[in-house]
Amino acid sequence: MARLPVYLRALGTFADRNVATVSSEELAGAAGVNSAKLRKDLSYLGSYGTRGVGYEVAYLRYQISRQIGLTQDWPVLIVGIGNLGQALANYGGFVSRGFRVVALLDADPARAGEVVAGLAVRPFADLSAVAAEHGPCIGVIATPASAAQQVAGALVAAGVRSILNFAPAVLAVPDSVDVRKVDLSIELQILAYHEQRKTARFVALDGPDDVRDPRFGAEVPAGAGFGGRP
């Protein structure tokens, strides 16, 4: 369940404040969900609360961590050490949550040996050796979109079955491989969509939605994502 990590983080803030037990109401507030949903989610893991009292913070933390699989720590390898790859390599949130960046790979031979976040960048060809060395691990793709599919294929061939993809491309992988996608510009586009409806000016002036104007190509402003031919 995708909300467990959120609960885990919220529990962490209670633990930091030395709170021993929380009610579903309090925890739900800290996690930004409603309390019934939180209770349903937790009941799915088992009965870890006490009626009339609440949930014991440390115990629930442990149970959720175990459920997610954070009681072991997972090796992470990052492919593509550009701006984003470097930011990820330096991101403290990984190491503090049960992940360990074990290798940085880049296709550019000129970058090999460069040290980022305390790790030497290695050539992409080292992938299978690294994967073999660390066992089941998580691959992070931080390359341009044009390289993403090829990298994904190499990761799969090297035995990686969990991929976090930052490249704006849909990856084709076997069903046995999990891919999660984080697309920064899509997030912005969703915000733009809502922003637009909030400022619902011009609604009438735009004309009806279904008018099919043969000149529509000319109406697209520059910079709106229409880099191709007209």
Partner DNA sequence: GCGTGTGAAAACCTTCACAGCT
Partner DNA sequence: AGCTGTGAAGGTTTTCACACGC
Our measurement of the distance from residue 116's CA atom to the centroid of its chain's CA atoms, rounded to an integer in Å, reads 21
Q: Is 102 in the site for a copy of itself (CB under 8 A)?
A: no
**Separation between Cα atoms, residue 96 and residue 86, nearest integer Å:** 17
Q: Is 192 in the site for DNA (CB under 7 A)?
A: no
Residue 4 vs 140, nearer CB to DNA: 4
Q: Which residues contact 135 (CB under 8 A, 6 or more apart)?
A: 75
Residue 52 vs 208, nearer CB to DNA: 52
- The answer to whether 137 and 77 are in contact (CB under 8 A) is yes
DSSP-based three-state secondary structure for 167 = coil
Q: Which stretch binds a copy of itself (CB under 8 A): 102-110, 122-130, 148-156, 196-204?
A: 196-204
103 binding partner (options a copy of itself, DNA, none; Cβ < 5 to 8 Å by kind): none
Q: How many CB atoms lie within 10 A of CB 220?
A: 11
In the list 22, 38, 70, 104, the residue contacting a copy of itself (rule: CB under 8 A) is 70
Q: Is 42 in the site for DNA (CB under 7 A)?
A: yes
Q: Is 118 in the site for a copy of itself (CB under 8 A)?
A: no
In the list 16, 32, 47, 227, the residue contacting DNA (rule: CB under 7 A) is 47
| Alpha-carbon Rg for the chain in angstroms | 23
Q: Is 25 in the site for DNA (CB under 7 A)?
A: yes
- The answer to whether 81 and 142 are in contact (CB under 8 A) is yes
In the list 25, 108, 133, 178, the residue contacting a copy of itself (rule: CB under 8 A) is 178
